[in-house]
A and B are shown apart, each in its own frame.
Chain A
Amino acid sequence: MEKEKHHIVPYKVYFYILIALITLTFMSIGITKINLGGYSVLGALVFSTIKSVLVLTWFMHLKFDQPFLRFMVGFVALLFFAIIFITFLDYYYR
């Protein structure tokens, strides 16, 4: 599209994100070694969320996309969190 601005992301940004993703993966595994009870799942979800945001923002170029698309993705993420939250109303209070 003519309106679309071209953007070039330096390789080093991709490299830093790769390092961050690998680190966060190890942290997701590491958190299972600590006994947080029911909150282990919450911890794992937090790490997964950060990883998803990194992938969406840079690898999938959401950072450079139209605000409307960012809103749509944000809305879907919100829906997903609401579903997880309601599901855990069962697990944490059972």
Chain B
Amino acid sequence: MSFRQFAFGLTATFGFAWLAVVIVPFFMMRSVEPVAFTEAADGKEGIYHPKTTGRVTNGAEVYASNGCYNCHTQLIRPTYAGNELGRPDWAGLKMDEERGDTRRESNVFDYQGEKFAQIGLNRLGPDLSNVGRRVEAEYAKGGDAKLWLMMHLYDPRANPQRPTSTCPSHRFLFEEKEVLGQVPQDALPVESPEGTVVIPSPDANELVDYLLSLKRDDAVPASMNYGPATKPAEAKPAAPQG
């Protein structure tokens, strides 16, 4: 092999693959066309875009820097790639009181507002795509969803329904504050030294807000809806876009 052959061969083999799997898709997906609801197929008009707030973006950073992605994923795969759609409360709710079965796979718009999609590495803990929905509808039903999450972060194994949880205790996200007068409203019902209470730090608040915002089971426009056709009038979903 001569140096010329080597250099050409290396550049060609690596360059072609690099362009095809890194450069082209990166630039193509930088600007995804918004998808619109149509009156005919969806019964309403408007652009489909899950909303996020700035605070949620802050929470995503707390999530990232504490490495939650090492144990939790945020991806509901289509049925040919995985079975998480089969679980009753991962992809949405199997029996939502208003909408029935709201489960769906993740789509392109679910991750807007974050810089890096925290798809995750391992599932030592459950998938979190719809943890906001799950906490409100099941774990903290009728109660305070925010408080449930705070207690989980503070000490996961204190919950009698989760004695085997391997989630680390994130006590460092909370502060002990001396009570001078009124007990703060967000004080946690946990033990603390005399005269103090445990309250969440700003990081904890951001993280919990972010987690509660994770509800990725909203109705999507028909062109992105891969559910089976239920009524005869509904045509088979059109080819996906974006």
Is A bound to B?
A: no
User: Could you list which residues of chain A lie within 8 angstroms of chain B, going by C-beta atoms?
Assistant: none
User: Could you list which residues of chain B lie within 8 angstroms of chain A, going by C-beta atoms?
Assistant: none
